[in-house]
Amino acid sequence: MSEGMAVARILLVEDDRELGELLVRLFRGVGHTTDLARDGQAGLHFGLTREYDVLIIDRGLPGIEGLDLLARLRRRNVAAPALVLTALGTVEDRVAGLDGGAEDYLVKPFEVDELLARVRALLRRAGAGAHTVAVGTAEFDLITRRVTTADGSTATLSGRESDLLRLLAESPNRVFSRTEIVARVFPDATAESLVDTYVHYLRRKLGAEVVRTVRGTGYRLGAP
């Protein structure tokens, strides 16, 4: 095992057979346990039924496209840090990957040493508490869906409530329109009024200032 490399459980979702097998050998060679899924549907099954420390997901997957796969996993509270591995390397593509829930984005072709370094960085982040997000002076646990305030009190959120709070918390200075929130949090819904309903739920549980209304624009994270 390479010096300084923590042992990890990795889910690799890659449809290129040769590259996938090469990466599995690479990761296993440095001590990682690695599952290989060759399409998005298999990746979704692995991601929902097994625990992983790092997700490595190609974008151009059959079955379920990579960013759609990552979005589905995030909606089901799979919080392992993700690296998107892809041939799509424009600024717009990288922004889409990071906004879509990935912590890192690596463009093909790449050097294996850089890939291993990025995996190490993701593992350090996970070890430092990647499953929690700051919400003002409180902490939001992405796994348990529990918010713990500075005075030690807690509140447990529903799946949709936690998805909405996570979206706002991961970009605390950004204002999200209702249309964007529907697309990111309630993809099966059509009525934007659903956003207002869930903002009301969050405020009722966590305080009126947890979500700030930006008049005429949408919502952003406030203070609990």
Residue 146: its pLDDT value, please?
82
Q: Is 199 left (phi over 0), alpha (psi -120 to 50) or beta?
A: alpha
| Span 108-135, pLDDT tens digits | 888 988 999 888 888 876 654 456 777 8
Residue 201: its pLDDT value, please?
95
| Span 10-65, pLDDT tens digits | 999 999 999 999 999 999 888 888 999 999 999 999 999 888 889 999 998 999 99
| Span 164-222, pLDDT tens digits | 998 888 778 889 999 989 888 887 777 888 999 999 999 999 988 899 999 989 999 98
Which domains, ranges and CATH numbers included, belong to the chain?
9-127 (3.40.50.2300), 132-221 (1.10.10.10)
Indicate yes or no: pTM above 0.85: no
